[in-house]
């Protein structure tokens, strides 16, 4: 099983989707402070099920979602997906790839999926526990947490080591078994409590069964009389049902014939409806006549108005002719003046008399003015005459149109008057037919009433008989309930039909009363035999079932205890073996880093309460003891530096503590190598010499686990096959730049 890739979208500073491929045993992630390098490690931790927001440097779920920048809006969700190669079926899933995804939304909800199928967080934790993975622990060492295993108390340190040894799956199974055991014990208590509760009721039911035996004796006594009653009642009801059916056939047929005749007469005698319709039609015709007359009156008034206008305009047209004649006289005068002017001009030429010239000029002026006035009057008269002629023609045309419309209205009125006359004649004829039909209708209705009375009498008898039949059915039901279905088989009784019909009804009523008294006695006993017997059987069966269930629960409890013992033995044995292996590797790495000395883990049992020191009591107040802690004890770290008289963690310097924690973490990863190991700047405190040693150990570890290194150390970077650079721009979005060193060397050549 290998880690293939990690996809980050909207998680923290990764506002855009980023994908990291892990095609090399060692992948290094570098970048300046604040660029988002550590967000990659937190993305791993989160997708693998981490629930503590504090460890993810957040307070709420929405703190994990990209919150936007000046150039990119905030996102509504964040998702991280990790993909594993599962060709070796290391995961217990029948897929070549295992894809684990987690999404968070701004309202705080989380969704989990495995290969696209929605799952619970519990399913992911269980799946990862089977391959020694989880949201936190030895395989994800975040920045500042390398020293955590040294700072932890003995109990916490034991938990970290158990996690590294792959014992979480067994502890998880042990916890599940403990839960099942608690549930089983609770079920045992409940079952025992139920048995105690039903014991008195079971005793009561046994007494009721005894009463039922007495009831059965009474039922046997009433069975014979009940059968005879039912048989005679059946004969009586069948006889009268058949007879009434025959008696109703002829009256119903006659009633049908009468109803058909009444329908025909009612069609003829529907005077009110027909007259109302005819009257409405007549009113509509008269309304149309009034409308036509109204339009006729309007057109008559319009015609009179047009004739008056034509007469007036004709008189006006005669005036321009008179003016024209006067203009003609004036023109004759002008001609006379023209002759005089010609004479004056001749005289002027002969005498050149100035006074005569003045006279001629004055006359000329008078002549011209008179001529102009006359011509203007003549033009005006001609134009006025033309306008009046046009108006008269227009009125004449409109008059012709009005006369045509008046003629149409006269024709339309005649049509409506004819329709009204025809309708009035029809109304008179229909009234006579209606009277005759009403008379016949009354006679047939009397016949129908008499026949209906006969039928109603028969129907009343039939209804009474129907009620008796219904009572008989109820009686059959009660008989079946009280005495069983066999009581209904009464057809074989030796009872003659004629004899049963001759018998008086009071004899049957006597049998009925005897049956009712027997029912009262059964009711007084207060026991429903079928219910009690069934309940007694059910309660007895339930008690037996509960007894068997107690045995099964006891077996389950025994099996769970055996499984829990086996798991505890397994955990203790694997833990003891693992401690030895870790100590061996711890010593090797310690020698490499310190050039000698000794280091190891020691299992210490918890102190008894009465011997606990004040410091221990304070520690227990912070980390409460559990049953597992008390039985398993804790783990202490013992170190002895070379060339120094230093023993114990408390006397180590900061650098020495860092080297010790690295040696221990690497030793733990060697014993049960996880599929991958994330180291987030665990080499930050190392000097150059120790950095080379650290890098050498990295190369060795990469043979067993994939390594993802978040680092600033050049020596560490040099051991990586793929280098991812993380940058962050002005938009506050983290981006990835990757390079493979073998390809870079090829390009360089």
DSSP 352-413: --HHHHHHHHHHHHHHHHHHHHHHHHHHHHHHHHHHHHHHHHHHHHHHHHHHHHHHHHHHHH
Q: Which is nearest to 323 in space by CA: 373, 393, 389?
A: 373
Give the residue among 95, 55, 61 at the shortest CA–CA distance from 79: 61
160-189 burial code (b ≥16 CB/10 A, e <16): bbbbbbbbbebbbbbeebeebbeebeebbe
C-alpha–C-alpha distance, residues 568 and 708, integer Å = 34
Are the CB atoms for 3 and 72 separated by under 8 Å? no
Residue 449 has a CB neighbour count (10 Å cut-off) of: 10
Q: pTM of the predicted model, to two decimals?
A: 0.49
Residue 101: the pLDDT is: 96
Q: Which residues, given as ranges, of the chain have pLDDT below 70?
A: 1, 134-138, 142-146, 268-275, 278, 318-364, 366-382, 427-434, 526-530, 606-632, 646, 741-749
Which residue has tokens 């026991």? Answer: 527
| Residue in 627, 731, 519, 521 with CA at minimum distance from that of residue 13 | 731
What domains appear along the chain, each with residue ranges and CATH number? 1-139+674-749 (3.40.50.300), 262-483 (1.10.287)
How far is the CA of 267 from the CAs of 74, 463, 582, 684, 740, in angstroms? 83, 34, 114, 113, 105
- DSSP states of 648-670: SGGG--HHHHHHHHHHHHHHHHH
Residue carrying structure tokens 């047209």: 317
CA dihedral 707, 710, 713, 714 (to 10 degrees): 70
Q: Tell me the β-bridge partners of 739.
A: 723
Q: How many C-beta neighbours within 10 Å does residue 382 have?
A: 14
What pLDDT, on the 0 to 100 scale, is given for residue 526?
65
Q: Determine the longest span between alpha carbons in the chain, in angstroms.
A: 183
DSSP letter, residue 72: S
50: its two tokens? 């981490």
Q: Judging by DSSP bridges, how do beta strands 634-640 and 598-604 pair with one another?
A: antiparallel
Query: What are the DSSP calls for 665-734, one per residue?
Result: HHHHHHHS--SEEEEESTTTT--HHHHHHHHHHHHHHTTTSEEEEE---HHHHHT-SEEEEEEE-TT--E
**Contact at 8 Å (CB) between 121 and 137?**
no
Cα dihedral 468, 472, 475, 481, rounded to 10, equals -150
Which pLDDT score is estimated for 160? 81
């Amino acid at each position: 099983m290998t880690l293939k890739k990690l996809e980050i979208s909207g998680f923290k500073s990764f506002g855009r989707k980023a994908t990291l491929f892990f095609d090399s045993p060692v992948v290094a992630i570098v970048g300046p402070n604040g660029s988002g390098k550590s967000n990659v490690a937190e993305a791993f931790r989160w997708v693998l099920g981490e629930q503590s927001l504090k460890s993810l440097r957040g307070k709420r779920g929405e703190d994990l979602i990209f919150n936007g920048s000046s150039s990119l809006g905030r996102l509504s969700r964040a998702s991280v997906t990790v993909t594993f190669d599962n060709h070796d079926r290391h995961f217990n899933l029948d897929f070549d790839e295992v894809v684990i995804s987690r999404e968070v939304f701004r309202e705080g909800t989380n969704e989990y999926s495995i290969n696209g199928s929605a799952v619970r967080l519990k399913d992911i934790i269980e799946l990862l526990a089977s391959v020694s993975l989880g949201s936190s622990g030895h395989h994800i060492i975040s920045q500042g947490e390398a020293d955590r295993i040294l700072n932890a108390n003995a109990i916490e340190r034991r938990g970290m080591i158990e996690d590294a040894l792959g014992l979480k799956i067994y502890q998880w199974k042990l916890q599940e078994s403990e839960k099942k055991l608690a549930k089983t014990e609770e079920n045992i208590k409940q079952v025992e409590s139920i048995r105690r509760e039903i014991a008195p009721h079971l005793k009561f039911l046994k007494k009721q069964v005894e009463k039922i035996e007495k009831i059965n004796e009474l039922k046997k006594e009433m069975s014979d009389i009940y059968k005879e009653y039912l048989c005679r009642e059946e004969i009586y009801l069948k006889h009268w049902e058949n007879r009434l059916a025959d008696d109703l056939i002829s009256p119903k047929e006659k009633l049908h014939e009468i109803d058909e005749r009444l329908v025909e007469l009612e069609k003829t005698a529907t005077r009110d409806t027909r007259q109302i319709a005819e009257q409405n039609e007549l009113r509509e015709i008269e309304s149309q006549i009034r409308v036509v007359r109204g339009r006729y009156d309007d057109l008559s008034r319009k015609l009179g108005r047009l004739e008056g206008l034509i007469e007036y305009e004709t008189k006006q047209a005669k005036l321009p002719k008179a003016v024209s004649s006067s203009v003609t006289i004036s023109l004759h005068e002008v001609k006379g003046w023209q002759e005089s002017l010609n004479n004056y001009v001749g005289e002027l030429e002969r005498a050149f008399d100035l006074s005569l010239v003045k006279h001629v000029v004055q006359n000329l002026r008078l002549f011209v003015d008179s001529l102009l006035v006359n011509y203007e009057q003549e033009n005006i008269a001609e134009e006025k005459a033309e306008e009046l002629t046009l108006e008269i023609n227009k009125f004449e045309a409109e008059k012709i149109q009005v006369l045509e419309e008046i003629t149409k209205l006269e024709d339309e009125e005649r049509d409506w008057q004819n329709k009204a006359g025809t309708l009035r004649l029809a109304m008179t004829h229909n009234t006579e037919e209606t009277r005759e039909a009403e008379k016949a209708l009354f006679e047939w209705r009397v016949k129908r009433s008499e026949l209906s009375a006969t039928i109603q009498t028969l129907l009343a008898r039939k209804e009474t008989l129907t009620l008796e039949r219904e009572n008989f059915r109820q009686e059959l039901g009660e008989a079946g309930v009280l005495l069983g279905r066999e009581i209904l088989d009464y057809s074989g009784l030796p009872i003659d039909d004629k004899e049963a019909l001759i018998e008086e009804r009071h004899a049957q009523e006597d049998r009925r009363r005897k049956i009712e008294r027997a029912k009262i006695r059964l009711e007084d006993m207060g026991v429903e035999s079928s219910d009690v017997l069934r309940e007694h059987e059910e309660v007895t069966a339930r008690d037996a079932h509960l007894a068997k269930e107690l045995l099964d629960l006891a077996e389950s409890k025994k099996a769970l205890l055996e499984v829990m013992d086996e798991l505890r033995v397994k955990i203790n044995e694997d833990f003891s073996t693992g401690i030895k292996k870790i100590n061996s590797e711890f010593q090797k790495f310690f020698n490499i880093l310190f050039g000698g000395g000794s280091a190891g883990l020691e299992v210490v049992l918890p102190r008894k309460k009465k011997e606990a020191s004040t410091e221990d009591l304070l520690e227990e107040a912070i980390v409460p003891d559990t049953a597992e802690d008390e039985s398993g004890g804790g783990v202490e770290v013992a170190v002895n530096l070379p060339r120094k008289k230093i023993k114990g963690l408390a006397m180590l310097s900061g650098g020495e503590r860092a080297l010790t924690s690295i040696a221990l973490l690497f030793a733990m990863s060697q014993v049960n190598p996880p599929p991958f190991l994330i180291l987030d700047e665990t080499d930050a405190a190392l000097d150059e010499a120790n950095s080379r040693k650290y890098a050498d150990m990295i190369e060795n570890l990469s043979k067993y686990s994939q390594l993802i290194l978040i680092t600033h150390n050049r020596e560490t970077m040099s051991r990586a096959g793929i280098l991812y650079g993380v940058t962050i721009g002005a938009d506050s979005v983290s981006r990835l730049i990757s390079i493979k060193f073998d390809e870079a060397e090829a390009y360089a050549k």
